[in-house]
């Protein structure tokens, strides 16, 4: 497992009984996590100091139960990047901290390329990977179907001092955008895909990762340049192991280009666990 262990403003303090206790800057949040199937004693006193807790509803969804939450949004930093976080519906905060291990990898690959690099970031959310790539010197095309998320990403760019970097901010369906880029003849040296496990398209279409991801990855091979630097594919679906994602890249990108393909779980350290880390999905990577 590759572990995002360089955070200063974020940590998982403890995890038990289907929940994780997290510190986001100076705010303590409790959120559910399906991976946490153990029920160890919650002896850490910070459990009782939480500012808010996300409670799932038996009817689906859920809501935040606020105890001492004095602010609706605040900023945290990761190395040279600044992100605005805020408790939102569906338990999220606008950031997936485990992805920092990928931000570092993308930055390293871009800085070591020795040439200009164009990156296509699909399902780009609030822009963690976009900002990391832009800070490393790449041109980035940031695509997400949710206008609010793209605006949030632009605010993160401003907070990080990257507002003037060459980033195209696109609100669009990712598949339709890629199809248009193919017709336009636009090519990219790197593709990052961070698709949701489940969702609905702008026309009400149902998206299920297991059913749609192969076709979309195969489509995206057509926007790669003649000498692509990398192709990264993330998965949060617990039933889709890293080895499946590695195989998928092998029979798509790997059949068109020569390079190294690998995959691994990514995770976050849990402070009170005695040295264990919480798995948070997987990343498959093709690189030249």
Per-residue confidence (pLDDT) for residue 208, from 0 to 100? 75
Span between the terminal Cα atoms of the chain, in Å: 22
- Yes or no: say if 232 and 106 are a contact pair by the CB < 8 Å rule: yes
Q: How far is CA 161 from the centre of its chain?
A: 21
Among 245, 249, 271, smallest CA distance to 259 is for 249
Exposed/middle/buried for residue 77 (C-beta within 10 Å: 0-12, 13-18, 19+): middle
Note the pLDDT tens digit of each residue in 103-115. 999 999 999 999 9
Query: pLDDT by residue (tens digit) across 198-223?
Result: 766 656 666 677 788 999 999 999 99
> Within the chain, where are the H helices?
100-111, 128-135, 147-159, 174-184, 209-220, 242-250, 253-256
Model-wide pTM > 0.75: yes
Distance of alpha carbon 83 from alpha carbon 105, whole angstroms: 19
3-class secondary structure, 157:
helix
Interatomic CA distance for residues 120 and 126, integer angstroms: 14
248 Cβ neighbours under 8 A, 6+ residues apart: 213, 214, 217, 233, 284
DSSP-derived pairing of the beta strands 27-32 and 19-24: antiparallel
- d(CA 106, CA 273) in angstroms, rounded, equals 29
The predicted structure's pLDDT at residue 200: 64
- Within 8 A by CB and 6+ apart from 24, the residues are 9, 10, 74, 76, 85, 93
pLDDT score at 199: 67
Closest by CA position to 259, among listed 226, 218, 234, 229: 229
pLDDT surpasses 60 at 25: yes
- In this prediction, residue 255 carries a pLDDT of 95
Cα separation, 128 vs 152, whole angstroms? 11
> φ, ψ for residue 133 (rounded to 5)?
-70, -40
13-36: b or e for each residue (b if 16 or more CB lie within 10 Å)? bbbbeebbbbbbeebbbbbebeeb
Specify the pLDDT at position 65. 96
Query: How many degrees, rounded to 5, is the angle at CA 151 between CA 25 and CA 136?
Result: 70
Confidence of residue 57 (pLDDT cuts 50, 70, 90): confident
Decide if 230 contacts 109 (C-beta within 8 A): yes
């Amino acid at each position: 497992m590759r572990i995002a262990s360089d955070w200063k403003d974020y940590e998982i303090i403890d995890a038990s009984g289907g929940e994780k206790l997290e510190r986001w800057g100076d705010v303590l949040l409790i959120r559910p996590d399906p991976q946490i199937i153990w029920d160890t004693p919650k002896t850490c006193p910070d459990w009782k100091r939480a500012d808010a807790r996300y409670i799932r509803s038996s009817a689906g969804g859920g809501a935040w139960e606020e105890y001492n939450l004095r602010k609706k949004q605040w900023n945290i930093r990761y190395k040279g990047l600044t992100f605005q976080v805020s408790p939102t519906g569906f338990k999220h905060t606008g950031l997936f901290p485990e992805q920092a291990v990928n931000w570092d990898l993308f930055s390293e690959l871009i800085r070591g390329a020795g040439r200009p690099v164009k990156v296509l970031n699909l399902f780009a959310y609030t822009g963690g990977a976009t900002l990391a790539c832009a800070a490393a010197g790449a041109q980035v095309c940031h695509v997400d179907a949710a206008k609010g998320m793209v605006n949030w990403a632009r605010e993160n760019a401003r907070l990080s001092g990257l507002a003037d970097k060459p980033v195209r901010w696109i609100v669009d369906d990712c598949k339709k955008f890629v199809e248009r880029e193919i017709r336009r003849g636009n090519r990219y040296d790197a593709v990052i895909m961070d698709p949701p496990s489940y969702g609905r398209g702008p026309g009400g279409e149902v998206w299920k990762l297991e059913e749609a991801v192969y076709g979309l990855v195969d489509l995206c091979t057509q926007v790669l340049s003649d000498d692509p630097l990398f192709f990264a594919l993330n998965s949060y679906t617990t039933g889709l192991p890293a080895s499946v994602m590695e195989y998928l890249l092998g029979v798509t990108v790997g059949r068109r280009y020569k390079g190294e393909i690998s995959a691994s779980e990514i995770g976050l350290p849990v402070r009170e666990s005695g040295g264990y880390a919480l798995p948070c999905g997987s990343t498959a990577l093709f690189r030249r």
